[in-house]
Every structure is written in structure tokens, then in C-alpha cells.
Structure 1
Amino acid sequence: MLASLAQVSRRLLGSTAVLAVLAAASPALAEPSTNATVNLIQLLVKNKVITRMAGAELLAQAEAEAEQARAALAQKAPPTALAAGAGAGAGAGAGAATATAMAVAGGNLPAPAPGTIRVPYIPEAMRAKITDDIKKEVLAQAQAEGWAASNLVPDWVKGVTLYGDVRFRNESVFYSKNNTDELIDFAQFNEISPIDINANTNPTGFPLLNTRTDRQSRFRLRARLGLKAQLSDVAMIGFRLATGDDRSPISTNQLLGGGLSKKDIWLDQGYLRLTPESWISASFGRFANPFRTGSALFDTAELVFDNDLNFDGVAVKVDAKQWIDENMRLSVTAGAFPLGYASTTFPDNSTTKAGDSASKWLFSAELAGGYTFADAGISIDGSVGYHSFKGIQGRLSAPCALFNGNTQCSTDQYRPETLRKGNTLFFLRDIAADPANPNNFAQPQLLGLSFDYDLIDVKASFEMPIAKGIAAVVSGQYVNNLSAHRRDLCRYDPKGLPINNITIADPVAGAAAGTAAANFYTNPCTADANGRIAKYNGGNQGYLVRGVVGVPEPKKFGDWNVELSYRYMQSDAALDSFSDSDFHLGGTNAKGYTIGGSFGLSHNVFVTGRWLSANQISGPPLAIDVLQIDLVAAF
């Protein structure tokens, strides 16, 4: 590059000499000059591109070439000349150059006075042309040599944005010693395979949750890397990769350890977004929750959808910002999201295949609005959403003869894709008795949801500044499942009865052993001969109230926030498979509080601590406290 700059300087010198634009060499190389060549050489010396000695040599060369140009012009010029005088300035050796008009007539010119430079007159138009020619020549050489190319980066790269984050978590889980130790792990029940519920033919029993043994200081990692590419004014695409223990839709945490084995990476997002006009956009593929509100740390949608949940399908958003006051916000978002498709081969061993009725979908729409009082800095936001889940309610099968080697029943496809804990469930299969052993036969079962889920989801937040850079935010969420009807709970009575979220009736006092009255009664739909009836103790509502003070998302050292929240989430207020995975270790049918805070350590690096204390609302006791300490870095 130094060589290239020297060549550029030589070109400038040569061009100046041809035009007889002369410069006097200055021993100090620092005196200001109106000559472009002198200024350029002084700038190169000042920035240490060339040495002071090299600068002096260039100036000397410029003067020599200028002298040759003067001589050549003097031989051709008319005998008319203009002389320039020099005046002595104050200070030793401080001469001031005065421009002179050079002779344009032939003949020998008298020697100039010491410190005087003869400069020929060059018209302004010619000067501009010379400057333009030199610029083009220099840029051409720079691009050819690759040290100043303007198009080194392709246009498509300019629209690409990389982003990501890494979260290291130290998590401890504390269980009450008063918890029941006989809670079925419903998440594993359907995941493993159909499980035999006959204790005589399945002596190993059901998969059970850990409810009493603490788990302390478990290291977990979440790493995400994303890319967004703006292809045009209309189209953009996005991808994101993330860690995760399994294919669960609501967590990207990876438990460390495992013999130092490599960890799995999943496709977390992949979508195309079209924005034909500023007020409308449509997303296709797998993308972030389009109904989220609030910051990444304090989302007000987590009763229904976990913060890590992404959506598959299509979502359209219409924003009215261009038609309303700049302080107002008003938008409508709607979408269709497939949760699972009916198998194309079910039943596997039948020539008659099932239709599409077993496909599972979510259809959602949300109206959101807000207003900011600019003078006070106060913001109010709210939304009303409707989320309708289709095809997820379980159906009792036709009588299913598994004793003859069949492995599938007619409604197996209606089992949920994933389960956590909380939702009311029943056994899907109506298993026919084995004629060879009608009183003792295997009964491999699958679980299904007792209710449909059509949710009204209301969210609101209020934010106001309380100091410079510090805000107070109060937010809340209310959810109601409009389809949790008692008639659905009992629609297959006496079969297909709920197996959880009920309070069973005690045996009749004094009943003879071996009689039905001496046993617990589990039917919440029909009373027995003794008037006993079990009680459904689930519910269809939930709410969350949260207060945050500070900076919601710390970005620099010293940023901080503190949080306090309380929630109450009944068993069937929302799908347990999609709600927050941290509180009560996921699921519904829980109540309790969360306290926490964050502190910024440096640019985009912060630490967070949270204590989540939860108890089960109905059913056997299950109290779980969770301590999470996170170190987060993002870009």
C-alpha cells in the first residue's frame, strides 16, 4: 500500500509539473501551502505514510520538474509577463510566497527574487478537468490493486444480520417432603409407548415423577445463533439454530455433563417474511411467537405460551400505524398453525386408512393496541386474543381387540403430541376383554385430553418512568378456556372417565369387604347406589400479575431490574404442553410467586437470579421451588 501511495504521489507530481503548478520545498515540511502537491506531501509525512526525508526528496523533485516546465514555457511564451514580489515576514526564515503572473511573451525572464515562484495562469475549467482525470486514474489503480475497491462486499451481504445469545444456568430444584410420591409422569406415558395399566400383567407399574428428591446445582446451557437476510424491500428470510435436551417445543435448555458428549443442535426457526406494504406482513415457516408482548425477560404471554415456543405455519399482521396518531398503536395478528397431521398410513395393517380428522391445528387472532403519553413517558398497552385448538381433544376408540395381535386402536392418533402435567386426561382405548382370560388380560393404554381448548387471552401493561433510565412496569394476563365443559368430561360415561384432577369418594363406612361399597369410587359423572360421586376439582381459568422496576433488558454495566410476580393457573385453563416450562417445572394446575432481578456486567452481558415457588392447586400435594442463576451474553 505504501508503494501505491508513492506512485499516486508521483502521478500528482508529474501532472503538476506538466501544468507548471510549482511548489517550493520547505525544510520544515510543515508550512501551509495553497498548492495541492505540497499539501499532499505534507499530509503523507504527517500521517507517517512516508518519512520526512522522502517528503523532502519529493518536494525537491517537484521543484526540479517545475523548473524544467518554466524553461519550456519561457521558450514558447509571448513576451508578456507578470512578476510576483516577495515580502519578508517576521521571524527568522519565515518567507511568505506571493503569487506572480508569469510572462507569456518569448524571451528570457529575469531571475525571480529569492522566495518567489512564478505560476502560470490555469483556467478554472481546466483545473476541474485535471482534478477529475487524476481522481479517476488514482481510483482505477486502487481498485486494480485491491486496496480501495468500492464493491468488495456483494450487495446481498449488506442485508445480512447475524445475532445470537448464550445462557449458562445454574439450576437447583427443591421438593417438599410432604409431596405425594405417586404422581404419574404423563409426559413419558405417551412418549414411551402404550403402557399396560393392569397391575397383574405389568408388575413394573407406571412411570412416576420425582417429587421428593432435590436436584441441586445442575448446569444447563442455552445457545442460539440466528441469521436474517433482507433480500429486497419486500422479502426477507431468517434461520435460527438452538440447543435442547429433546424435541420439546418449550425449552432450548441443554443439561451439561453426559460424559462430556457433544450436544444436539435443532432447527429452532426457519421462515420467509413478506412485507408488500409497510402496514402488512406475512410470515411463512417456523418463526417466533407472533402474539408475544413485553421484553424477552418479562413476557406477558407465558401463561399460554412459553417464552421459547416457536410457531409452525402462517401468520399475518396488519399494523394501522400509518393511519393513526404517532403515539397510538393498533394492530391485528392472525394465523393458522399445524400441530400435527394425521398419519398417511394409519392404521398400519388395514387397507382402509383414517381421514384427516385426526390432524391437529391452532387458529389464532389477536387485536392489540396501546398509547404513549409522550410528555409524561407513560405507555399503556393491551390485547385480546382468541386461540382455538382443533383436533386435540381425545376420542374413545371403538372396542379394540388387542388380544389377537393387533397393536393399534381406532383413535390412537388423538393422543397429544406432547404432555407435561396438569391437564385432565382419560384413557383413549376401549380394550375388549380377552376371551381366553377375560378377568386378567393386558390393557396397553394411551392418554387423551378430556377437553377442547378454545382460549380467550387478555393481556395488559402499564409503564412509567420513575428516574432517568429507570421505569416501573406493571403487567398482567388473564386466560379462560371456553371449552372446558362438564358434558365433555362425562361424554363416554361410564367409560372414558378422567383419571386425574378428581377427588375420589371414600368407601362406605361399615361396608362388607369385597363389595363395591368398600372401595373408593372414582366416577365424577354418575352417583353409585350409595349416593357417592367423585368430584372434578380442576378449573378453566388462570391469571398472572407482575411488577418490574429498572431496565427491562440490561444492555450495559450498571443496568438493573427487580421483579415480583404471582400467578394462579388452573388445570385446564390452557394446554400444559405449551405453557411456561420453569414455573412448577412446567404445566398447569399451579399457583405461587416469583422474585428475581438482573444486573448488567458489560455491553450485552448480564446476570439474572430468580426464585420460583409453586404449589399444586388441586389433587395430591406437589410443592416445587426452583432457583435459577443465569449468565447471559447476546449480540
Structure 2
Amino acid sequence: MMQITLKNWKLSLALAAIFASQNGAAVAGERESLEEVRATTMSLIELLVQEGVLSKDKADALLKQAQTAKQKAQEEAAAQLASQPVETAAPADAGQPKSIRVQYVPEHVKNEMRAEIEQEVMKKLNYKAGERLGIPEWIDRVEWTGELRLRYQQDQFSDTNVSPATLASNNTQYMQVNNTSEDRERQRIRALFGANLHINDWLNGGIRFTTGLLQTPVTPNQTEGFSQGKFVFGLDRAFLEAKPYDWLTLTGGRFANPFFTGNRVFGTDLIWDPDLAFDGLVAKANPKINNHWQVFSSIGAFPIEEVETSDTNKARDKWLYAAQGGIEWTASDNSKVKLGVAYYDFKNVEGEPSQFNGDTRFDATVPLWRQKGNSTFKLNSFANNCDSATNPSRCGLASQFQLLNFTGEVDLALFDPVHVVLHGAYVKNIGFDQQEILRRTNTLLDEENEGYELALMVGHPMMKKLHDWQVFGGYRRLERDAMLDGFTDSNFRLGGTDAKGYFLGAQYGLGKNAWLSSRYISADEISGLPFSVDTFFVDMNARF
């Protein structure tokens, strides 16, 4: 933003002249019309303060100078009027009050005066038609957004946890974990900066940058420590959004989760990490039936991983195809009930076994990114295990993933602005097939393919101002093959599936767009090797 040096004394003189001309005309009987000019000038000064051209102190000084000039002009006009001879009426009207002749000012002359005053002031402030201080008009179609979060995080590990080497040697639930026993404390930071773009009447867009490791799709947190050098700042959102009708939205690029998951207010999610970005195309239709009922639906295709298939690489592109539909009811007191059902079909994410020792044609069926929890198997059955230093193999996912997900939320606004929110979600991987897995991997796995979550929140739905507050808590259970472990909440048991436990939290507003939050998560394994983690967060949040 370029800086402008204003010559305040010139501007003051111009404003004083404006007010003086107003008052002279007022004495002449045109007070009401030219008061509009004065109001326009006052509004212009207020606009300049809002746009940052004038500081509030300078604007107050200008107004004070203008008011002084106005009073002086009134006194001079009154003195001049008193010195002029007064024309009296005929004797028959001797009892009538004295009259003053006034000069009529045509309407077009008043309009010209108003336009000249505005142009003169705009010229002094370097304003131009279609531009503001040399800045192009498109800047008005950009809305800058951002958020900063400072976090203290403590990870507490159970004394009964097995070692990382033991987790890595389990071929049917292969996990790469660096630490299972030593409690850890970290100071972490998250920074988001972006822009919402209004391109025209039917097309919008957006970009956003965020901190976080580039190879981690599920968290923007970055651990502090100046010896590590600079923080990584990467492009996290880049999309175009077309709205041909009020009820229809088409979005392409990289964008926020387009599906209703219900409990964004809690900062957690049963199957998706809250910070996960979706790549691809999605269409959302939200027709409104009446003032109380609205239907919502989403359908989209999302690339997960592009694979260059060839004679030496038999893996195929990994995709997610998804659809969701639901209905929302809004009461007259703004209470809401929202129900949705979604189907998520993950294509080509399961591993394919090698056909002979040394066969590497299916190595790319192993996912690029995992956390932990899913059932796995060795692609090369001749190898010792997945991480063996001699004759190593790679571990692929044993199950296909075709999810049926139900989500419901009741938002009671009886005590508005305090709300009571009840949330529930259920998921089942109907793509899990024991016999298909046995045929493909020679491994018979237990059917652990369901998950659910229940939560309650009391307080303000959003932290916007001082003294806003909320408290919340809930319980979650997500079995090992209920969802792809790579995209689940990265905080609950430090990410992944095969997890059960509860969470408690609270938030409190410290001022406009600033709030403090805290959350405690206690999570254990469901059926796998012992690995329990309790995590505690304290966050200082600010947004603009």
C-alpha cells in the first residue's frame, strides 16, 4: 500500500471555504439545500478515515478548523446583514414583521457547486475516477483473510505401550511411529493467509497459504525452534467457484472439505481431519423449499494420487468419488436440525501383491501418505517383513474402502446467543470383504470396519467478541478399517484409526476476533498392539 503525504493546511483551507460558502448561502435563504453539500463533505472525511488516507486525529483537527471557519463566517454575515438598510413595507402593513429580499439560486447551479466542491477535494486527495490513490479498482473485489494460532501441546504416553520396533514388525497392522514412551512438550504455530476473490457476478475464487510440512496433508502446525531455520509456507487453497444459480455452486481446484460433517464447532471430526484440503471438482445444490426447510447435496470427484502407469508400474491412479444428500430444518427461533448421508468410494487405494519374488510392478499401490491403524499386508510374501533391512517388502492396505456415513446435528437456540449443540456421526466401510482380502493377501482379517462419535457443546457457536464462551465434550470410536487412516484427525491418538476415547474442551473470547481455547484428548487402541496417548492443547487464536 503506497503512502500519501497530505498537505493538511491546504485541505483545511478548502474545507473552511466550503463551510463558509455554505453559511453565506444559508443566510441568503439556501441553508437547507447547501446543508446537503456540508453533509457530503462530512461523509467524504469519514470515508477518508475508513480508507486509511486520514488518521482519526487529523480528521478531528480538520473538522474543528472547519467548524471555527463556519462560526467566523456566520458572525461576518450577521454583521454585514445588520449594516445593510432594511426595506420596510407600506404603512398599511406597519404591524407586519420586517422582510428581507433573497436571491434565488437555480437547482442546476447548486448541483454544479456541489460537483465542483467534490472534484476539488478529490483532486487534493489524489482520487481519480475508477481508482483510489492510484490503486486499481479490482482491489475492492479482494477480501483478505488470515488467522494465527500459538499452541502449547503435551503428548503423554502410557507405560504399557509397546516399542516403535514392535509396531513396525507387525505386518498385519504396520505402523511407523518414532516415539511410544517418552512424554513430549512442544510449542507450535499455525499461520493462515489468503484472499477471497470476487471476479464477477457469477464467479468467485480463493487462494490461501499456510504453514506446515509440505508432505503432510492433514495438519498446518509447525513446531517452533529457531535452530530449524525458517517455517515452511505453502499453497493450501486455490480454487474457482461458479454460481450460475442461487442454489447451485460449482467448485474446482483445491478447497475446504465440501461435505457436511456436523461438528466443525468442536474442532474435531470422525473421519476427516478438519484441516484437510480436497483437490478436484464438486457440485453443490442447496435448494430452499420454504423458510423452514432446505435440501442440500454435494457430488464430486477428487484425485488422491496420480500414478504413471506403464509396463513396469501396474498401479493405477487413486481417486475418491463422493456424494452426499440431506435436509435441514430451521425453527422460528433459529434452532436447527440437520441430517446428512454420504457415500465415499475410494478407488485403487488397496495394495496388490507381487506375483513373484523381486516383482516391483505393484509397489506404487502403497499409499504415499499414511498415519497408522489400517490393516496391512506384505506385497512380497517372500520377504521377512515390511521394514526388514534384509529382503525388505512394502506394506499395502488390505481392504478396499467404500464408506457409508451418517451425520446429524441438533442446534438449540432457545437461549440465544448461547446454543446447545448435539452431534452424532456413524460410518461403516461396506467395502470391507473378508473373503476378497483372504484371496488377495492370504490373510484372514477380523471385520473391524465401523465407527461412531457423540458430542455435546454448550455456549456461543463462534468466538467473535469479548466474553464469548463454549464448553464441549464427546466420545469417539473408529475401528481399524472404518476409514483410510491417512486422512483422519491428526490430533486424536496422534492420527489414524483403531482408536477410541473421549475429548473435553473449552473456549473463551478475549476480545474481537481473539480467543483462548483448550482441549484434552485421551485415546487408546481398540484391538491392535498397545499404544495409548493423552494429548493436551492450549491455543491462543486470532483472526482477521
Per the TM superposition, whether the score is higher than 0.5 is: yes
Q: Which amino acid aligns with 2:240?
A: L
Q: Distance in 1 between matches of 2:432 and 2:424?
A: 23
Q: Distance in 2 between matches of 1:462 and 1:22?
A: 62
**1:127 shift after superposition:** 2.6
The answer to whether residue 524 in structure 2 is matched with residue 573 in structure 1 is no
* Greater per-residue helix proportion: 2
**1:331 shift after superposition:** 1.2
The answer to whether residue 322 in structure 2 is matched with residue 364 in structure 1 is yes
Q: 2:354–2:361: 8 Å Cα contact kept in structure 1?
A: yes
The answer to whether residue 285 in structure 2 is matched with residue 318 in structure 1 is yes
2:219 aligns with 251
**1:630 shift after superposition:** 1.1
Q: Which amino acid aligns with 1:238?
A: G
2:155 aligns with 173
**1:130 shift after superposition:** 2.2
**1:365 shift after superposition:** 0.2
2:65 aligns with 49
1:145 aligns with 124
Alignment of 1:113-152 (within 5 A): 119-122=101-104, 126-146=105-125, 151-152=130-131
Q: Which amino acid aligns with 1:145?
A: K
Q: 1:184–1:208: 8 Å Cα contact kept in structure 2?
A: no
Q: 1:398–1:409: 8 Å Cα contact kept in structure 2?
A: no
Q: Deviations over 1:52-79 (max 9, x none)?
A: 5896479649987999xx99xxxxxxxx
How many residue pairs were aligned?
501
Q: 2:151–2:540: 8 Å Cα contact kept in structure 1?
A: yes
Q: Which amino acid aligns with 1:362?
A: L
The answer to whether residue 249 in structure 2 is matched with residue 281 in structure 1 is yes
The answer to whether residue 299 in structure 2 is matched with residue 334 in structure 1 is yes
Q: Distance in 2 between matches of 1:223 and 1:374?
A: 38
1:380 aligns with one of 323, 334, 337: 337
Q: Distance in 2 between matches of 1:252 and 1:297?
A: 18
2:139 aligns with 157
Q: Distance in 2 between matches of 1:282 and 1:371?
A: 24
1:236 aligns with 204
Q: 1:23 to 1:148 in 2, by over 3 A?
A: farther
Q: Which amino acid aligns with 1:312?
A: D
**SS of structure 2 residue aligned to 1:248:** coil
Alignment of 1:543-622 (within 5 A): 543-622=452-531
**SS of structure 1 residue aligned to 2:487:** coil
**SS of structure 2 residue aligned to 1:565:** strand
Q: 1:130 to 1:566 in 2, by over 3 A?
A: same
Q: Distance in 1 between matches of 2:451 and 2:420?
A: 24
Q: 2:432–2:449: 8 Å Cα contact kept in structure 1?
A: yes
**SS of structure 2 residue aligned to 1:577:** helix
The answer to whether residue 498 in structure 2 is matched with residue 541 in structure 1 is no
Q: Distance in 1 between matches of 2:188 and 2:302?
A: 30
**SS of structure 2 residue aligned to 1:490:** helix
**SS of structure 1 residue aligned to 2:490:** coil
**SS of structure 1 residue aligned to 2:227:** coil
Q: Which amino acid aligns with 1:332?
A: S
Q: Distance in 1 between matches of 2:448 and 2:33?
A: 88
**1:259 shift after superposition:** 1.2
Q: Distance in 1 between matches of 2:147 and 2:99?
A: 65
**SS of structure 1 residue aligned to 2:349:** coil
Q: 1:379–1:464: 8 Å Cα contact kept in structure 2?
A: yes
Q: Which amino acid aligns with 2:156?
A: F
**1:179 shift after superposition:** 1.5
Q: Which amino acid aligns with 1:134?
A: M
**1:167 shift after superposition:** 1.1
2:370 aligns with one of 419, 426, 443: 419
**1:556 shift after superposition:** 1.7
1:76 aligns with none
2:182 aligns with 213
Q: Deviations over 1:516-547 (max 9, x none)?
A: xxxxxxxx4xxxxxxxxxxx345000000001
Q: Which amino acid aligns with 1:161?
A: E
1:306 aligns with one of 252, 265, 273: 273
Q: Distance in 2 between matches of 1:479 and 1:561?
A: 27
**1:34 shift after superposition:** 8.0
Q: Distance in 2 between matches of 1:340 and 1:157?
A: 36
**1:50 shift after superposition:** 5.0
Q: Which is greater in Rg?
A: 1
Unaligned runs of 5+ in 2: 1-7, 43-59, 91-96
2:538 aligns with 629
Q: 1:443 to 1:467 in 2, by over 3 A?
A: same
**1:297 shift after superposition:** 3.5
Q: Which amino acid aligns with 1:245?
A: L
**1:353 shift after superposition:** 5.4
**SS of structure 2 residue aligned to 1:572:** coil
Identity between Structure 1 and Structure 2 (%): 28
Q: Which amino acid aligns with 2:362?
A: T
Q: Which amino acid aligns with 1:393?
A: E
2:431 aligns with one of 473, 483, 503: 483
Q: 1:181 to 1:431 in 2, by over 3 A?
A: closer
Q: Deviations over 1:539-566 (max 9, x none)?
A: 0000000011111322222211111211
Q: Distance in 2 between matches of 1:378 and 1:120?
A: 63
Q: Which moved more, 1:415-424 or 1:255-264?
A: 255-264
**1:475 shift after superposition:** 0.5
Q: Distance in 2 between matches of 1:373 and 1:16?
A: 55
1:263 aligns with one of 223, 231, 247: 231
Q: Which amino acid aligns with 1:589?
A: D
Q: Deviations over 1:469-503 (max 9, x none)?
A: 211111111000011111132114xxx345xxxxx
**1:268 shift after superposition:** 0.8
Q: Distance in 2 between matches of 1:241 and 1:45?
A: 41
Q: 1:537–1:619: 8 Å Cα contact kept in structure 2?
A: no
**SS of structure 2 residue aligned to 1:225:** strand
